[in-house]
Structure 1
Amino acid sequence: MLKPSISFKAHHANEKEEMQALIVRFAGYIVEVQALEQRNTALPAELTALHSRYKGSPTGIGEEYELKFKEVWELIEVLTNEKGAADIERGYLEEEVEVWRLKVEEELALKEELLKKLHDEEVAELRKQIEYSKMTAELDGDRPDLAVASRSVQEAEKWYKSKFDTLKEHAGKHEEHMKTMKDEITTFHNKVTELQSQIDQLEDMDGVIAQMEPQLCETKLEMTKYPQDYQELLHIKLQLDVEITTYRKLLEEEEQRNTAHCGDITPRVGRLLNLFKNDL
């Protein structure tokens, strides 16, 4: 009578150990499946972020840098051309002013010399006439001739003064024209200075862009790696999906096998399996 009892206890103990081992295996499966599911849940977010980063930021940064670099170079070229044209125009104006200055100085010198010569000749002639008139007056006592000579001197001085005033007026007009030309030169000079300042600023900006070029190259290089990383993550996700499906099938097969093996003797195993499946 003791043997059946011992045999039953031994069988019961074996079933208990088998159930505990099964529970441990299931627990290991569940932990691994839960970890895989968590990883699988996180992968879409990582893929989305990587995809967004691949399609947005790096390309945008690269295009923005290249567009800005192109705009700066185009602006530098335009300003350089404008500065060159302004320098040429200023050179023309300076040459024209110099020509006018020399021409005016030469004309003034010639007119002054001519007027001085005419004045000297007229004064000399008038003096001769006065001397002659004096001599005639002394000889003939003819006073009206002296009056005529005096009037001739006054008329000569008046004519000289009129010519001199005309010459001064003409010289004043030339000076006004020269002043206008100088003002234009000053305006062009200021414009050239302003353009040079803008070019200097753009060259400084170009230096900054040149310093950013290594970063741009690095960004482009990093951008070329994104598709590969995206494909690797996608491949990992697919592998995890396959592994999760496999583990689920294994759990179901293990559950069916143990249910058929244990029958009604181990209903707790079925409840535990259902409990662990619900945890999944």
Structure 2
Amino acid sequence: MSSRSFDPFYPSTYKRRVVGLNSRHDGGIGSRSTYSSYSAPFSFASSRRSYPMHSRVISSSVLLSAPVTAAATDLRLDQAAQVSSEFKVLRTQEKAELQDLNDRFVSFIDRVHDLEQQNKLLETELMLLRQRQTQPSNLKALYEQEIHQLHAVLDGARSEKQAAQDHKNQLEHVFKNMQKQYEDEVLAREEAEMHLMDARKGADEAALGQAEFEKKVENLLDELDFLKRVCESELAELQAQIHYTAEVTVEMEVAKPDLSASLRDIRLQYEKLAQNNLQSAEEWFTNKMKVMTVGSARDTESARSAKDEAGEYRRLLRARSLEIEACREMNQALENQIQEVEEKQSAEVQALQDTISQLEDDLRVNKADMARYLKDYQELLNVKMALDIEIAAYRHKPLKLLEGEESRLNVSAPAHSVYSQTMYCSPSYGQLQLCSASPLLMSSSRWYSSTLSTEEKISSSQAQQAEASPPNEPEVDDRGEDGEEVVIKMEEEKDEEDGEGEEVGDEEQEEEEEKSKETV
């Protein structure tokens, strides 16, 4: 059986194989030729890690001819049996710890990839934010241009407001003048109505006077008729008296005087008086009728003119009322328009103020987001640098171990190899137990280190395992109970970048072993 010596300075990905050939198929005890190479004796004062002797079955290819006593062989066999069982427990613990470390390393790599993606996203966002921030002057110019335009619109609105105010004042002045004219027209109308009422009153009085005069004329006409009848009756009586007197006078011509001439005179006087009265009454009536007709015509004309004037005044009043109403409506419309313009301007100014405030808030939020992104980016960069340093430390650890091994080999004493026979016993339950004979040590220090108690070896190996535990675990391949071949493998996955370093370290280790063998 051949094996490679385990050393804590070897890289954890080295493959270590233990190959055993059994000359018997019945599972008995067989003697194996082994070789072992030691670079330094076991010592607690050594600065490198030291594992107990049961961690590898180490044998040398050079056979020593020195005899081994039976007592030493039994002692080493017992110690090897005890240490092999403890070695299995220790290697199981190491395997679990290495699996945990591998999981942590995978999680670190995933986290690094996630952080790199987040870093790219943050860089993209930072680039976009910088591109946005590279144009503050254009935004300011746009704001200033918009503000100038709004100021121009505001000035135009103010000028329009001033013009509307002037027009309003002018309309108010016109309205006052028209109101004054309206009041004058109302007074004139009232005066005209008073004149009309007086004229109507005069016309009524004239109509009453005319009626009275007509009644007087009728009374006078009746009286004239009556007087005519009276006069006719008197004339008839007088004529009758005259006939009677004539008859009397005929009969008594001598005794009575002639009264015809006096009666004729009286008749003429009465007729003349009646005609004078009639003529005077007709003249008075005619004059009175003329006066009343002229007065009635005059009153009718004045009433017509007053009525026309009142109609004209009414038409003018209606027109002025319509103009005043139109002016009022125009004034109200202008006031509403001015109010709407003011409200619109105030709303636009408020909207612009809100827009400016919103843009300022957005700018402030963008600045805060940029600062937060920069802070997160810096933190991610720090985390990435820390992870890069940790990864670099993990990557360069095998090289450091190789360098430490080279320095240890250069400083340590030459290796010694002894021949030992390894006995394998096959138990009834199918498990293989490793029994090895310890080599004969050449010095007292080596003998002292080899005869240390098993507990001290286990405690020292556990203490040194916390500092630098090898990431590979041995895999024991049992090819069957017949014991034809036993293979113990120690393998672990490693990155492609560390592959070449591992091969170089393996070759250097083999060269060191060959040199130590030649020296022995």
Q: Which of the five TM-score ranges fits, normalised by the shorter chain?
A: 0.5 to 0.7
Can you give the 5+ residue segments of structure 1 that lack an aligned partner in the other structure? 1-20, 244-280
Kindly tell me: are residues 202 and 156 of structure 1, through their superposed partners in 2, closer, same or farther at Cα, counting changes over 3 Å?
same
Cα distance, 1:218 vs. partner?
A: 2.6
Q: Which residue of 255, 263, 276 corresponds with 1:166?
A: 276
Matched, 1:87 2:197: no
Contact 1:43 1:233 in 2 (8 A): yes
Which residue, out of 296, 311, 320, partners 1:200? Answer: 311
- Code of the residue aligned with 2:299 in structure 1: it is F
Distance 1:59 1:230, change over 3 A: farther
User: Offset at 1:169?
Assistant: 2.9
Counterpart code for 2:242: Q
- 2-structure distance, mates of 1:180, 1:94: 12
Opposite residue 250 of structure 2, the aligned amino acid is A
The count of aligned residue pairs is 218
For structure 2, the residue ranges without an aligned partner over 5 or more in a row are 1-132, 357-520
Give the TM-score normalised by the residue count of structure 1.
0.59
Is 1:86–1:191's contact at 8 Å kept on the other side of the alignment?
Answer: yes
1:57 corresponds to: 170
Contact 1:72 1:206 in 2 (8 A): yes
Write the mapping of 1:19-168 to structure 2, written as runs, cut at 5 A: 33=144, 36-37=147-148, 40=151, 43-44=154-155, 46-55=157-166, 56-140=169-253, 145=257, 148-168=258-278
**Residues 48 and 231 of structure 1: is their aligned pair in 2 closer, same or farther, counting only changes over 3 Å?**
farther
Larger Rg: 2
* 1:129-278 mapped onto 2 (5 Å cutoff): 129-140=242-253, 145=257, 148-171=258-281, 172-212=283-323, 215-225=326-336, 226=338, 229=341
- Higher share of residues assigned strand: 2
1:163-212 per-position Cα deviation (integer Å, ceiling 9, x unaligned): 12221232111321132022212211221122222222333344444545
Q: Distance in 1 between matches of 2:239 and 2:325?
A: 93
Equivalent-residue separation in structure 1 for 2:223 and 2:277 (angstroms): 11
Alignment CA distance shift 1:50-1:64 (3 Å) = farther
Query: How far 1:136 sits from its partner (Å)?
Result: 2.3
C-alpha distance in structure 2 between counterparts of 1:140 and 1:60, whole Å: 110
> What's the TM-score once normalised by structure 2's chain length?
0.35
Give the CA deviation at 1:153.
Answer: 3.5
What RMSD in Å do the two structures reach over aligned CA positions? 4.0
The whole-number CA distance in structure 2 between the counterparts of 1:92 and 1:75 is 25
Question: In structure 1, how many angstroms separate the alpha carbons of the residues matched to 2:206 and 2:291?
Answer: 11
Which residue identity is paired with 1:163? L
SS in 1 for 2:211: helix
Moved more, 116-125 or 34-43: 34-43
Q: CA deviation at 1:57?
A: 3.2
Partners of 1:64 and 1:230 in 2: how far apart?
29
- 8 Å contact kept, 1:79–1:199: yes
TM superposition shift of 1:106: 1.1
